[in-house]
Structure formats: C-alpha cells, structure tokens
Amino acid sequence: MLTAVELTPKSLESYRAVVLPGVIEAIREDARALAGARVLHVNATSYGGGVAEILASMTPLMRDLGLNADWKVISGSDEFFGVTKAMHNALQGHPHDWTEAERALWVETNRKNADGWEEYDFVVIHDPQPAPILGLLREAGQTPGGKWLWRCHIDLTDAQPEAWDLLRPWASEYDGSIWTMRQYVRQGLPDRDLFIAPPAIDPLSPKNVPISEAEIAAVFDRYTIDGSRPMVCQVSRFDPWKDPLGVIDAFRMARETNPGLQLVLVGSLAHDDPEGQEWLQRVFDYRDHDRDIHVLTNLDGVGNHEVNAFQAASRVVIQKSTREGFGLVVSEGLWKGRPVIGGNCGGIPLQVIDGQTGYLVETAQECGMRLRQLLADPAECDQMGAAGRELVREHFLLTRYLHDYVRMFRTLAGMQPSERG
C-alpha cells in the first residue's frame, strides 16, 4: 500500500518578502473556492531528487490554503526500482530491451500499491513509477472519484518508442496531464486538459535561504575544502545524463589557467535510483585521487544546508546535463546570484538565458572555455548572477507553481478562469 509522508507545516504568508507584489493575494483569491477539497500527490520517493523536494513544500502550502492535501509514496522491491530507472532512462532516449517480466513487475507492484484506495477530489500522479494506478483501479471494477492528473517531469522528446508504448496506455487514462514544456508532449496522449507548468524552487527551504559566511566556513571545514581558493560546483544525481565525467574534464581544463580552482560534485543517492552507486564509483575512479575534486553525497552528511553553502560559495554553478526535464539546481544557483553554465537541453534554456544569466554549452570543452571566461571576469559573474536571481523571482519560485496547481484544479472542477490570469 501507499505510504503517507509526514509533513512540516508551512505558511504562504512567510513568502511575502521574497515574491513580487500581489502574488500572495492572487493565490489566496483563486484558492478560496477550493477550500476543503481533498488532494493527493503520489510519487516514488520521499527524498532525493527534485520531485520530493517540491512536494515537501508544495503539499504543506496547499494545506495552508485550506485544501486537505496529502503526499504518499509507492512501495516496491529493488528489482521494481531497477525497472522504473530503466524506464526513466529509456524515456530519455537510452535503448533498453524490454521483457514481459519487467512489465509485469511494474504493473503488479502498482496493483499492490492501489490496494485500499482512499477517495480524493484531485489526484496528481508523478512520473512513470506509479502511472498504472488509475488504470488498475478501473480494471479491478472500481470507479475512483475525483479528477486525476498525470505529471510528467521527464524530457520525452527522444523517448524510446517501446518505452512510450508501455507507458502511454496508462497515462491516457487520466483526466489531464502536466508537462514542463510543450515539446515534451508525446503523440497518442489526449489533448484534453493538457497543462504546461515548469517546476520551481522553494526560496525559504534550507537549501535556498540566505546563508552566512560563518556557516559556509563551517561546512567547508567539515569537508576539508579550502575557503581561500575559488570553487565551482555541480549538484545532481550521479547518472550519465548529468555528465559528471564531462564536468571533471571541464574543470581540469579551467584549472590550467586557474591553478587554485576546486570542484565540488554533490549528489543524493535515493532508493529509487539503483544505478546511482555505480555511477558514483565511476566518478571516484575518474577523479583519480585528485585532491581538488571533492565528491560528496547524502551518505557523507550532505543535506540541504550543505548544498546551500556550496552553491552560495561557488564562483560559477555548473549543470552540464545532456538530458534534463527542468533542472531545479539551475534555479537554485541563479537564486543565489551565481551564473550557471548549463547543458543546452531540456528545461535548462528556460532558466539559462545564454549570455545573460549564464552560458549554454554542448561539450565539456565548451564548458571549460566558458568556465575560464567567467572566472577571469568577476564583474560579468556578478551581472549575470543578479539577472538570474530576478529571472527566478519572476518565473521559478514555488509560489508560481502553487498558483499553477490551484488554476489547474479550478479548470478540472469546471470553475471560471481566474480574473488575474
């Protein structure tokens, strides 16, 4: 059965100082008609990765608006999460030879999680792992009430056709779907109530609140990082799509003209990502005992506070992905006033405006060249960082995403569109 996630209360009012004028009032006005509605978010893990981070803040804020919102995660074996990780990779374009046993494990695990289903007014199912739940309830003769949304956080533009063929029949069951970008929407999915809503960061989370120099110094001391020397970082899961080996290549190129440069690679190992440990070892091997390259994970005690310190202290934040649904870490870096060098893929160009808030790159060599350029020009770094922070304030803070959900629920409930747009 699904497992409920414990939530820490949050207040929308506390965001007033960091958002644009009128934002709080507009959200509350639109949410008033939804008061008392039961809302459920379902995903694969309560920690590690952007979806879990968003739901940890989004769900309590929905409660603050008067909605009875819950967050639950699916349970499954290591083999199940191995299959869903393969599906995630295949949906981003990596070939995989699918077996009937893999499909059966995915479906049957979801069938067990659907046992004892409770009724909600709005259900949001996140990504492929729990996607079959709605269809399986109907197969079992149940008529689950409420409106159901499937939220896809993945870039499906180059999806393996076989993987999409597995997912599409289940995703088609939903009343509507939510996508980060229009380009991600695959053929064969109904156009009804198709919403475009990029993710966003929580500016008041421990990862994004202002952090003092003393706090940064304490984190650096704990992980033996030299605070007197320049540092750059990438924060992401350890997997091939984040190209950590390419980041190391770019760093080594930049260090040729910046001998004191340090690199911090930070990643979270989550239980729904079984290949993370394998890629972590590959990074260790590629680092080859280079003392200027610090490779850290949540198993080393690195949490949101530490990530905040690394991003805030970086001269430049890197996100050299080759596939990226959105890339919350890009917005995190920009929010801290740092320019971001990002892979020219997925949702990164929504945030990295090339030449204005950072640079978009295709290769490790290009990344290294841009890194050299920014390290040689502190004024350019500051100018890009300031522009990036304002871009995030306007478009990529959690309050905007919360308002998107309120509007989507209103649409599904047949209410009139918001007068404020």
pLDDT in tens, 17-32: 999 999 999 999 999 9
- Distance CA(319)–CA(236), nearest Å, equals 8
Domain annotation covers residue 268:
yes
State pLDDT tens for residues 140-154.
999 999 999 999 999
Give me the sheet containing 340-343, strands edge to edge. Answer: 293-297, 262-267, 231-235, 316-319, 340-343, 358-361
Indicate whether 186 pLDDT > 60: yes
Give pLDDT, residue 419.
Answer: 57
> What proportion of the chain, given as a percentage, has pLDDT over 70?
98
Quote the pLDDT of residue 47.
83
Q: What is the pLDDT of residue 273?
A: 65
- The predicted pLDDT at position 1 comes to 82
Pick the closest to residue 256 from 376, 379, 378, 384 (CA basis).
376
The C-alpha atoms of residue 190 and residue 173 are separated, in whole angstroms, by 9
Please name the residues in contact with 253: beta carbons below 8 A apart, sequence gap of 6 or more. 364, 365, 368, 369, 371, 372
Residue 271: band (very low, low, confident or very high) from pLDDT cuts 50, 70, 90: low
Q: What is the domain count for the chain? A: 2
Mean pLDDT (the chain, rounded): 95
Confirm whether 271 is domain-assigned: yes
- Token pair 């995190």: residue: 332
Cα–Cα distance, 153 to 378 (Å, whole number): 35
Same domain, 274 and 126: no
User: Averaged over 392-421, what is the pLDDT?
Assistant: 90
Residue 274 has pLDDT above 80, yes or no: no
pTM of the model: 0.92
Confidence of residue 272 (pLDDT cuts 50, 70, 90): low
Q: 359-388, pLDDT tens digit by residue? A: 999 999 999 999 999 999 999 999 999 999
Answer yes or no: do 295 and 323 share one domain: yes
Per the structure block, which two tokens stand in for 308? 């905040």
Same domain, 170 and 186: yes
Q: Is the pLDDT of residue 413 over 80?
A: yes
- Is position 189 within any domain? yes
For residues 125 and 269, state if they share a domain: no
pLDDT confidence of residue 418 = 66
pLDDT top residue among 138 and 419: 138
DSSP lists the bridge partners of residue 148 as 123
The per-residue pLDDT for 201 is 97
Q: Are residues 154 and 45 in the same domain?
A: yes
Write the secondary structure of 278-318 as one string of H (helix), E (strand) and C (coil). HHHHHHHHHHCCCCCEEEEEHHHCCCHHHHHHHHHHCCEEE
Whether 35 shows a pLDDT value over 80: the answer reads: yes
* pLDDT value at residue 350: 97
Say yes or no: 189 and 226 in one domain. no
Same domain, 28 and 84: yes
* Residues 233, 116 within the same domain: no
**Is 205 a domain residue?**
no
Q: Is the pLDDT of residue 188 over 90?
A: no
Long-range contacts of 296-304 (CB under 8 A, 24+ apart): 296/223, 296/264, 296/265, 296/266, 296/267, 297/238, 297/266, 297/267, 297/268, 297/269, 298/47, 298/48, 298/268, 298/269, 299/269, 300/223, 301/222, 302/223, 302/266, 302/268, 303/206, 304/205, 304/206, 304/207
Examine the domain organization and report whether 276 and 135 are in the same domain. Answer: no
Give tens-digit pLDDT for 199-232. 999 999 999 999 999 999 999 999 999 999 999 9
**289 & 163 share domain:** no
The whole-number average pLDDT for the span 394-412 is 98
The pLDDT score that the predictor gives to residue 192 is: 82
Measured in Å, how far apart are the chain's first and last C-alpha atoms?
39
CB count within 10 Å of CB 139 equals: 13
Q: Give pLDDT, residue 367.
A: 98
Q: What local confidence, expressed as pLDDT, does residue 335 receive?
A: 98
84 confidence band (pLDDT: 50, 70, 90): very high
Q: Would 419 be classed as within a structural domain?
A: no
Are residues 181 and 254 both part of a single domain? no
pLDDT tens by residue, 288-311? 999 999 999 988 999 999 999 999
Residues 88-114: what's their mean pLDDT? 96
The rounded distance, in Å, linking the Cα atoms of 419 and 26 is 9
Percent of the chain residues topping a pLDDT of 90:
90
- Residue ranges making up the domain that contains 67: 3-199+397-412
Assess contact for 286 and 248: CB atoms under 8 A. Answer: yes
Quick one: 406 and 298 in the same domain? Answer: no
Comparing 88-92, 106-110, 189-193, 336-340, which segment has the lowest mean pLDDT? Answer: 189-193
Query: In whole angstroms, how far apart are CA 346 and each of 148, 152, 323, 325, 378?
Result: 26, 13, 6, 5, 28
Say if 421 falls within a structural domain.
Answer: no
Structure tokens at 77: 């074996």
Instruction: Let me know if residue 418 belongs to a domain.
Output: no
- Does residue 270 register a pLDDT over 90? no
CATH code for position 8: 3.40.50.2000
* Residue 204 counted as domain residue: no
Distance of alpha carbon 53 from alpha carbon 36, whole angstroms: 24
